[in-house]
């Protein structure tokens, strides 16, 4: 083709006005093209890898996220999970028997339904031939569910996987004390009346004191809010900055909700109650109001308050993940590719919530992208102080050099691309379900805004963290 | 140097200010014209809060000495007279230390009690001013806050402490034979209540921050921070300062009350304490307990009770006066000189004078999982040393592993460790029956049975598998190291590390070097010992080294005294009333009769007549009857699991009766019996110094007190000679020599000291 063009050009009179004009046009055209490319010059055209299956998200849904103790308070976790699964079935019209596997993430387990994925799938009418398992990795449990799905598809074991997460903080397993449990178990084994009586005689009133699920980190015995407060102090983040960030989250969430951008939310008819249609934790307040709150963890001078922390939330989410060729064969128009991801972990005492700081540069490097390539950032907001600390840490050469073994900082994400539809602080944070919300928010934002790459990052108890690159499916 | 430090701190101070208000630099410069001349204490003003920073140059700790005192007065006067300043924060710039106490040199330099009393009174006056300050002062405490440091802190209006492991508050004066002399005896009871104050001042125990908060000793806690914009330690101090400033402001604005809400129990105790009868009962009880425990050997605890009582019953003026006078008196006592000497010695013996070893020991291997081996493992794993514990049988290994676990778990029960920390520490321990992994060991400590051929066997086995740099240390109490090293291919890497049982409780480690032991090997052993938290003496090789050698003649005398008809109980009470923590007969039971016999026999062969005295036959007969001491359940006493009171083992009587020796009335009074034991000990110790087994008298004193329980009130054998008088000791020895012969012949060095009274072990 080019040879043909040059050939023609060569044999045209060089002084010809027409020829000049002719050659000008494509030139100017290409310069326009180049200018357009310069606006969004990506390090890579796509993250597709040769000889690797492309894995896509067709769509994802979630139940409205509600404050614990509100409309979902009488449900069990698998009820919520079932609602998310039904919603996904309805949204995607995926035939139930095509689904190869179901994976759910959850954190505080209901003992009766320890494999909540299976119970929910059966109740949602999935084929009883579809196996399901439950994963747990604190606040990145549903991220783990999704990446497990990616692994199953990439290795060719499955083609269609549903991944999701659920958390019901309205009800938590409160147990008898160990002593009481031991006595009850021994009693059940006792054969004679004498044995039973001698066991019962050992009963003491303190056996009845209940055992609550630990809200603290097991290894350090420190509650997460406490650690967040210390983290904020270590990064010298003021109360005002934290309140401002929380207000931003609530305001953006309110705006997104108002504009109907939170399209992953599916209505849920709660048995015996009205249909729930939207998140109920979004409450933009004023800085003055927020300033009045007392610190929730480090009293009386700490900076983390109820207003600048994510609240206890009930909710479930689910996404449909397929191999690209399967999705296309089934006639789907996927929303996004799931690309490179990393898990990181660090000191659970002093760096409990710094997962995103460690994971972000790592996943970017793995994908061969830079901070500038990312069009949409979706970070899990556990606490305002935690988000701001992560932003500061990512922007610190000192921190990068002394704690991350890197030569330079990765830089902090520009706020205009960061959690602009709200985040966990405002939308809520059902531990096991947040990961899918982050991925769907990223996918939907990329589709809406026309961006190509999104970055999801989250911290989790145990000092762990996760990040994943989401690439928009071309229109 | 000092000036540059001051300038350095100034520049740091202004740098942070510069960002916010450019005009400030000039101001702070003019303000701080005096700052440049001050070396220990600087201050800056943040808003209306003065931040007073203590940072003594060229020292890891801040202490209260004359210079600090006068600088503090200067600074406080400026703070009080400034119109701009409404409150103050008192903080140390040193990580890990607020104020570690008064400067001991200042006290020991005094020659009369009046001088000491005067020092006390000056401090009292200063702290009273602090207490009465109309501008609230907040003490921001990070690290040790002891003695005078605590007294200063409790004079302040408010205290904020970091919840760091290094933050310890306490009144350890009693351990130095003195009392809190800067108002502590008066303020502490008011602050934490009389019983708690007595506990603190009479035991000298350090109190961690969270406990201090519960007691009302501190008002707020600040959690230490992790990495952030700065290194954790630095940022934590900065954060502590920030928090303290908000509280200082709050106090100045009267938004925060310095008064603490008292709990019900506290209210009840304080009500009970308002009844004179209850108070009298408490004084009586405490006094009784102290008398029983100190056996009248330590004057300080009783004086503390007395001073507290005076303050409460006769008012603070009388209390303060009594405090300063008693402080002066106590500082001049022999006991306080002895205890201060020990404190100094202990500090010296916690340093590695051999320098850093070429290779840091990271992987340790211990042979033998017995009481000693497991004990050594326990104090190693919790310091982060990777430790292999090897034994020959699974049962013996299991017992050892359980001992380590129990040791760590006991700390969990006492809340000194979390269960998670216990698990991580325990994971540093590998129990095994073979030599796997020894090729990576940096040091092997053998703690197998005390038998030369066995030690040779393991040495050869180990040398076949360990790398070239690996140190081989032998934990033996009596076998000469050079004899053990004789089987080694590389004697320069062989050293003795004599631990004391129980290893996790006994502070001493005696390191024994042979002529062939290299300096680097010694440095390595000392480094490991220090890591294990030990107080270390390094001695030359020889039969019994230093500690065992001193103990042996005393033990020989113990047997003789028993043979002369003094019962074990009587002997125990004579020795404990002299200041030994464990009675002499009980000590034999604890050490083990077989071990005692083994040592006595060995050393008796080497040293001959000097170690004679009691008959070995006593020990032999006890062993033949199975009376091995505590470990076999019977020795001089009968030991039963769970039974605390000890009963005499009546079977011993017949043994002693059959081997009875005639007692010599003129050397058998109670006092003579005590001195017969002690002088033999002291004479042998001095001989060790004379022969060069010991390098310094300090090590001799530390070894005797921390390893053998020599009375701390006497400060160790060498301090004892100095304080008691060499002549008197020689006189005693001569008297006993006349009765018993060469065992009591004073050594040349002791005679030299006796003949020239100016000669002292401690100048």
Query: What rounded mean pLDDT belongs to chain B?
Result: 91
Give Cα A421 to chain centroid, integer Å. 14
A220: contact with B, CB 8 A cutoff: yes
B700 inside domain: yes
What pLDDT was estimated at residue B29?
39
Same domain assignment for residues B316 and B373: no
Give the count of domains, chain A: 1
Q: Confidence class of residue A16 from pLDDT cuts 50, 70 and 90? A: very low
* A349 contact residues in B (CB cutoff 8 A): 226
- Per the CB < 8 A criterion, the answer to whether A243 and A309 are in contact is no
A50-98 pLDDT per residue, tens: 989 999 999 999 999 999 999 999 999 999 999 999 999 999 999 999 9
Judge residue B352's burial from the number of C-beta atoms within 10 Å of its C-beta, 0-12 exposed, 13-18 middle, 19 or more buried. Answer: middle
What pLDDT was estimated at residue B731?
96
A202 inside domain: no
* A298 contact residues in B (CB cutoff 8 A): 223
A40 inside domain: no
B52 inside domain: yes
Residues written for chain A: 475
Cα(A466)–Cα(A353) distance, integer angstroms: 11
What pLDDT was estimated at residue B450?
87
Range of the domain at A405: 55-172+220-472
B349 inside domain: no
Region B315-323: mean pLDDT is 96
B582 inside domain: yes
A209: contact with B, CB 8 A cutoff: no
CB nearest A233 (choices: B225, B418, B420): B225
The strand pair at B49-54 and B87-92 is best described as: parallel
Same domain assignment for residues B523 and B605: no
Specify the residue for token string 């004599």: B498
Which residue in A85, A81, A84, A77 sits closest to A108, CA to CA?
A: A77
Rounded to the nearest 10°, the torsion over CA B448, B454, B455, B459 is -110
pLDDT above 70: residue B192? yes
What pLDDT was estimated at residue B44?
94
pLDDT above 60: residue A28? no
Fill in the DSSP letter of residue B36: G
Helix (H) or strand (E) holding B67: helix B66-81
Same domain assignment for residues B490 and B601: no
The yes-or-no answer on residue B510 being catalytic is yes
Total CB pairs under 8 A between chain A and B: 56
Bridge partners of residue A322, in order along the sequence = A56, A160
Same domain assignment for residues B435 and B519: yes
B399-432 pLDDT per residue, tens: 999 999 999 999 999 988 999 999 999 999 999 9
A228-287 pLDDT per residue, tens: 999 999 999 999 999 999 999 999 999 999 999 999 999 999 999 999 999 999 999 999
- Per the CB < 8 A criterion, the answer to whether B525 and B511 are in contact is yes
Three-class secondary structure assignment of chain A: CHHHHHHHHHHCCCCCHHHHHHHHHHHHHHHHHHHHHHHCCCCCCCCCCCCCCCEEEEEEEECCCEECCCCCCCCCHHHHHHHHHHHHHHHHCCCHHHCCEEEEECCCCCHHHCCHHHHHHHHCCCCCCCCEEEECECECHHHHHHHHHHHHHHCCCCCEEEEEEEEECCCCCCECCHHHHHHHHHHHHCCCHHHHHHHHHCCCHHHHCCECCCCECCCCCCEHHHHHHHHHHHCCCCHHHHHHHHHHHHHHHHHHHHCCCCCCECCEECCCCCEECCCCCCCCCCHHHHHCCCCCCCCCCCCCCCCCECCEEEEEEEEEEEEHHHHHHCCCCCCEEEEEEEEEECCCCCCCCCHHHHHHHHHHHHHCCCHHHEEEEEECCCEHHHHHHHHHHHCCHHHHHHHCCCCCCCCCCCHHHECECECHHHHCECHHHHHHHHHHHHHHHHHHHCCCEEEEEEEECCCEEEEEEEEECCC
pLDDT above 70: residue B86? yes
- Per the CB < 8 A criterion, the answer to whether A468 and A363 are in contact is yes
A183 inside domain: no
Same domain assignment for residues B252 and B397: no
B661: left (phi over 0), alpha (psi -120 to 50) or beta: beta
Least confident of A208-222, A440-454, B111-125: A208-222
Q: Confidence class of residue A40 from pLDDT cuts 50, 70 and 90? A: low
pLDDT above 80: residue B437? yes
Same domain assignment for residues B76 and B153: yes
- Per the CB < 8 A criterion, the answer to whether B312 and B279 are in contact is yes
What pLDDT was estimated at residue A454?
98
Helix (H) or strand (E) holding B87: strand B87-92
pLDDT above 70: residue B366? yes
Q: Confidence class of residue B16 from pLDDT cuts 50, 70 and 90? A: very low
CB nearest A301 (choices: B229, B246, B418): B246
Same domain assignment for residues B242 and B391: no
pLDDT above 60: residue B8? no
* B223 contact residues in A (CB cutoff 8 A): 226, 229-230, 298
Range of the domain at B688: 547-755
Assigned token pair, B751: 């005679």
Please tell me which residue of chain B has the smallest CA distance to A386.
B228
Cα(B187)–Cα(B357) distance, integer angstroms: 47
pLDDT above 60: residue B323? yes
A279-331 pLDDT per residue, tens: 999 999 999 999 999 999 999 999 999 999 999 999 999 999 999 999 999 99
B91-125 pLDDT per residue, tens: 999 999 999 999 999 999 999 999 999 999 999 99
Question: How many Cβ atoms are within 10 Å of B108's Cβ, its own excluded?
Answer: 15
R_g over Cα of chain A: 26
Region B373-381: mean pLDDT is 97
- Per the CB < 8 A criterion, the answer to whether A293 and A303 are in contact is no
Same domain assignment for residues B300 and B449: no
Cα(A420)–Cα(A16) distance, integer angstroms: 55
B132-154 pLDDT per residue, tens: 999 999 999 999 999 999 999 99
Of the residues B498, B532, B566, the one at which a domain ends:
B532
A328-378 pLDDT per residue, tens: 999 999 999 999 999 999 999 999 999 999 999 999 999 999 999 999 999
Q: What share of chain B is helix, strand, coil (3-state, %, to 5)?
A: 55, 10, 30
Same domain assignment for residues B576 and B499: no
* A230 contact residues in B (CB cutoff 8 A): 223, 225-226
* B229 contact residues in A (CB cutoff 8 A): 234-236, 392, 396, 398-399
B19-42 pLDDT per residue, tens: 333 333 333 333 444 445 689 999
Region B376-400: mean pLDDT is 96
pLDDT above 70: residue B18? no
pLDDT above 60: residue A10? no
Helix (H) or strand (E) holding B272: helix B264-273
Judge residue B302's burial from the number of C-beta atoms within 10 Å of its C-beta, 0-12 exposed, 13-18 middle, 19 or more buried. Answer: middle
Specify the residue for token string 């470990």: B631
CATH number at residue A85: 3.40.47.10
* A223 contact residues in B (CB cutoff 8 A): none
B642 inside domain: yes
B173 inside domain: yes
Cα(B490)–Cα(A427) distance, integer angstroms: 70
pLDDT above 70: residue A219? yes
Phi, psi (rounded to 5 degrees) for B60: -75, -20
- Per the CB < 8 A criterion, the answer to whether B685 and B679 are in contact is no
Region A3-10: mean pLDDT is 41
Angstroms from B214 CA to nearest CA on chain A: 15
pLDDT above 50: residue B393? yes
* A235 contact residues in B (CB cutoff 8 A): 228-229
Specify the residue for token string 């140390």: B92
B604-618 pLDDT per residue, tens: 999 988 998 999 999
CATH number at residue B499: 3.40.50.720
Going from the C-alpha of B392 to that of each of B363, B368, B427, B470, the distances in angstroms are 20, 8, 21, 21
Cis peptide before B207 (omega within 30 of 0): no
Cβ contact B229–A351 (<8 Å): no
Same domain assignment for residues B561 and B475: no
A412 inside domain: yes
A166 inside domain: yes
Same domain assignment for residues B375 and B294: no
Judge residue B486's burial from the number of C-beta atoms within 10 Å of its C-beta, 0-12 exposed, 13-18 middle, 19 or more buried. Answer: middle
Region B363-371: mean pLDDT is 96
Going from the C-alpha of B588 to that of each of B552, B592, B600, B619, the distances in angstroms are 11, 6, 12, 10
Cα(B626)–Cα(A10) distance, integer angstroms: 117
What pLDDT was estimated at residue B269?
83
Helix (H) or strand (E) holding B574: helix B568-578
A213 inside domain: no
What pLDDT was estimated at residue B37?
65
Cα(B591)–Cα(A326) distance, integer angstroms: 79
What pLDDT was estimated at residue B656?
92
Give the count of domains, chain B: 3
B543: left (phi over 0), alpha (psi -120 to 50) or beta: beta
CB nearest A351 (choices: B227, B235, B243): B227
A442: contact with B, CB 8 A cutoff: no
Please tell me which residue of chain B has the smallest CA distance to A396.
B229
B312 inside domain: yes
Non-local (6+) Cβ contacts of B289 within 8 A are none
A397: contact with B, CB 8 A cutoff: no
A33 inside domain: no
B541 inside domain: no
Assigned token pair, A443: 């996918």
Which letter, b or e, does each residue of A399-435 get, where b requires 16 or more Cβ atoms within 10 Å of its Cβ? bbeebbebeebbebbeeebbbbbbbbbbbbbbbbbbb
Of the residues B323, B446, B510, B684, which is catalytic?
B510
Sign for the pseudo-dihedral over CA of B375, B376, B377, B381 = positive
Region A439-457: mean pLDDT is 97
- Determine which of A221, A233, A302 to mutate to test the interface with B (most B C-beta atoms within 10 Å): A233
Angstroms from A202 CA to nearest CA on chain B: 23
Cβ contact B228–A234 (<8 Å): yes
Going from the C-alpha of A275 to that of each of A67, A430, B128, B142, B261, the distances in angstroms are 15, 19, 70, 56, 50
What pLDDT was estimated at residue A213?
81
Same domain assignment for residues B634 and B713: yes
Strands (E), B93-143: 97-99, 137-141
Three-class secondary structure assignment of B684-722: HHHHHHHHCCCCCHHHHHHHHHHHHCCCHHHCCHHHHHH
CATH number at residue B116: 3.90.226.10
A125 inside domain: yes
Bridge partners of residue B97, in order along the sequence = B144
Cβ contact A349–B227 (<8 Å): no
Least confident of A309-323, B42-56, B349-363, B590-604: B590-604
Please tell me which residue of chain A has the smallest CA distance to B232.
A234
Assigned token pair, A425: 């602080």
Give Cα B734 to chain centroid, integer Å. 35
Taking each helix axis from N to C end, the angle separating A77-92 and A116-123, rounded to the nearest 10 degrees, works out to 50
B417: contact with A, CB 8 A cutoff: no
SS3 B212: helix
């Amino acid at each position: 083709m080019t040879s043909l063009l040059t050939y023609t050009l060569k044999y045209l009179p060089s002084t010809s006005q027409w020829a000049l004009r002719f050659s000008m046009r494509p030139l100017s055209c290409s310069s326009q093209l180049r200018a357009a490319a310069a606006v969004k010059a990506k390090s890579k055209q796509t993250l597709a890898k040769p000889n690797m299956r492309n894995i896509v998200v067709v769509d994802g849904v979630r139940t409205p996220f509600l404050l614990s103790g509100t409309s979902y308070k009488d449900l069990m976790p698998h009820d919520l999970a079932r609602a998310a699964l039904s919603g996904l079935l309805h949204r995607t019209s995926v035939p139930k028997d095509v689904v190869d596997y179901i994976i759910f993430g959850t954190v505080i387990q209901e003992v009766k339904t320890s494999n909540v994925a299976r119970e929910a799938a059966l109740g949602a009418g999935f084929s009883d031939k579809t196996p399901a398992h439950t994963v747990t990795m604190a606040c990145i449990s549903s991220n783990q569910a999704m990446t497990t799905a990616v692994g199953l598809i990439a290795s060719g074991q499955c083609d269609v996987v549903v991944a999701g997460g659920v958390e019901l903080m309205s009800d938590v397993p409160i147990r008898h004390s160990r002593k009481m449990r031991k006595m009850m178990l021994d009693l059940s084994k006792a054969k004679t009346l004498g044995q039973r009586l001698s066991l019962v005689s050992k009963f003491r009133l303190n056996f009845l004191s209940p055992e609550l699920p630990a809200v603290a980190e097991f290894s350090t015995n420190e509650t997460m809010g406490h650690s967040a407060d210390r983290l904020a102090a270590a990064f010298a983040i003021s109360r005002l900055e934290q309140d401002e960030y929380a207000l931003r989250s609530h305001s953006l969430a309110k705006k997104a909700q108002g504009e109907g951008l939170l399209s992953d939310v599916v209505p849920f008819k709660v048995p015996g109650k009205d249909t729930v249609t939207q998140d109920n934790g979004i409450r933009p307040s004023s800085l003055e109001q927020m300033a009045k709150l007392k610190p929730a963890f480090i009293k009386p001078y700490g900076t983390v308050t109820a207003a600048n922390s994510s609240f206890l939330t009930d909710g479930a989410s689910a996404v449909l993940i397929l191999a690209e060729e399967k999705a296309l064969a089934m006639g789907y128009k996927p929303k996004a590719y799931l690309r490179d991801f990393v898990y990181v972990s660090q000191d659970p005492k002093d760096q409990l919530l710094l997962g995103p700081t460690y994971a972000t540069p790592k996943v970017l490097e793995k994908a061969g992208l830079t901070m500038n390539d990312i069009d949409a950032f979706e970070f899990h907001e556990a606490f305002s102080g935690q988000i701001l600390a992560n932003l500061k840490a990512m922007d610190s050469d000192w921190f990068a050099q002394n704690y991350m073994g890197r030569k330079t900082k990765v830089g902090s994400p520009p706020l205009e691309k960061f959690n602009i539809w709200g985040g966990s602080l405002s939308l809520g944070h059902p531990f096991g379900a947040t990961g899918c919300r982050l991925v769907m928010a990223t996918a939907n934002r990329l589709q809406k805004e026309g961006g190509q790459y999104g970055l999801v990052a989250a911290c989790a108890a145990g000092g762990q963290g996760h990040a994943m690159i989401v690439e928009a499916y071309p229109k | 140097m000092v000036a540059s430090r001051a300038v350095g701190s100034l520049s740091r101070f202004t740098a942070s200010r510069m960002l916010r208000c450019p005009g400030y630099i000039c101001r702070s410069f003019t303000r701080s014209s005096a700052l440049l001349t001050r070396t220990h204490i600087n201050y800056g003003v943040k808003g209306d809060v003065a931040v007073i920073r203590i940072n003594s140059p060229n020292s890891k700790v801040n202490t209260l000495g004359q210079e600090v005192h006068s600088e503090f007065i200067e600074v406080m006067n400026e703070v009080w007279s400034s119109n701009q300043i409404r409150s103050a924060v008192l903080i140390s710039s040193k990580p890990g230390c607020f104020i570690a106490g008064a400067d001991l040199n200042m006290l020991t330099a005094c020659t009369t009690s009046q001088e000491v009393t005067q020092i006390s009174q000056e401090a009292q006056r200063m702290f009273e001013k602090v207490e009465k300050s109309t501008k609230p002062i907040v003490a921001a405490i990070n690290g040790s806050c002891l003695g005078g440091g605590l007294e200063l802190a409790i004079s302040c209006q408010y205290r904020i402490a970091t919840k760091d492991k290094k933050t310890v508050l306490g009144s350890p004066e009693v351990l130095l034979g003195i009392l809190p002399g800067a108002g502590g005896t008066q303020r502490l009871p008011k602050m934490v209540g009389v019983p708690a104050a007595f506990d603190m001042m009479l035991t000298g125990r350090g109190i961690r921050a969270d406990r201090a908060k519960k007691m009302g000793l501190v008002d707020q806690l600040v959690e230490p921070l992790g990495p952030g914009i700065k290194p954790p330690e630095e940022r934590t101090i900065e954060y502590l300062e920030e928090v303290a400033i908000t509280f200082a402001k709050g106090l100045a604005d009267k938004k925060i009350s310095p008064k603490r809400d008292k709990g019900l129990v506290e209210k009840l105790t304080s009500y009970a304490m308002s009844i004179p009868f209850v108070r009298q009962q408490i004084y009586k009880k405490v006094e009784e307990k102290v008398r029983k425990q100190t056996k009248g050997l330590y004057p300080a605890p009783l004086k503390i009770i007395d001073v507290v009582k005076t303050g409460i019953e006769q008012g603070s003026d009388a209390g303060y006066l009594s405090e300063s006078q008693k402080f002066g008196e106590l500082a001049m006592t022999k006991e306080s000189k002895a205890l201060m000497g020990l404190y100094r010695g202990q500090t010296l013996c916690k340093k590695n004078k051999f320098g850093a070893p070429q290779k840091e020991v990271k992987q340790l291997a211990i042979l033998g999982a017995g009481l000693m081996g497991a004990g050594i493992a326990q104090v190693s794993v919790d310091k982060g040393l990777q430790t292999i514990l090897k034994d020959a049988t699974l049962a013996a290994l299991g017992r050892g592993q359980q001992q380590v676990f129990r040791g760590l778990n006991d700390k969990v029960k006492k809340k000194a460790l979390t269960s998670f920390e216990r698990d991580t520490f325990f994971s540093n321990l590998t129990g095994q029956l073979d030599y796997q992994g020894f090729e990576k060991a940096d040091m092997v400590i053998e703690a197998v049975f005390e038998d030369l051929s066995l030690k040779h066997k393991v040495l050869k086995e180990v040398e076949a598998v360990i790398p070239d740099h690996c140190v081989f240390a032998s934990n033996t109490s009596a076998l000469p190291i050079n004899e053990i090293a004789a089987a080694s291919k590389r004697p320069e890497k062989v050293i003795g590390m004599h631990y004391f049982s129980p290893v996790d409780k006994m502070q001493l480690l005696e390191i024994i070097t042979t002529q062939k032991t290299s300096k680097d090997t010694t440095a390595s052993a000392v480094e490991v010992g220090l890591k294990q938290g030990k107080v270390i003496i390094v001695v030359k090789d020889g039969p019994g080294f230093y500690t065992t050698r001193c103990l042996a003649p005393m033990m020989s005398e113990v047997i003789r005294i028993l043979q002369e008809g003094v019962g074990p109980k009587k002997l125990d009470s004579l020795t404990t009333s002299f200041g030994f923590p464990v009675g002499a007969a009980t000590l034999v039971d604890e050490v083990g009769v077989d071990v005692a016999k083994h040592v006595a026999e060995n050393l008796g062969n080497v040293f001959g007549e000097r170690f004679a005295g009691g008959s070995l036959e006593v020990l032999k007969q006890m062993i033949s009857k199975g009376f091995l001491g505590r470990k076999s359940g019977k020795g001089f006493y009968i030991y039963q699991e769970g039974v605390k009171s000890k009963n005499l083992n009546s079977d011993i009587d017949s043994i002693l009766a059959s081997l009875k020796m005639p007692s010599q009335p003129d050397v058998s009074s109670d006092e003579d019996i005590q001195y017969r034991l002690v002088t033999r000990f002291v004479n042998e110790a001095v001989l060790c110094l004379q022969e060069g087994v010991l390098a310094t008298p300090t090590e001799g004193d530390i070894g005797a007190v921390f390893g053998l329980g020599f009375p701390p009130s006497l400060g160790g054998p060498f301090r004892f000679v100095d304080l008691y008088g060499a002549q008197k000791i020689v006189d005693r020895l001569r008297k006993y020599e006349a009765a018993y012969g060469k065992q009591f012949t004073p050594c040349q060095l002791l005679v030299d000291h006796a003949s020239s009274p100016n000669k002292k072990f401690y100048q």
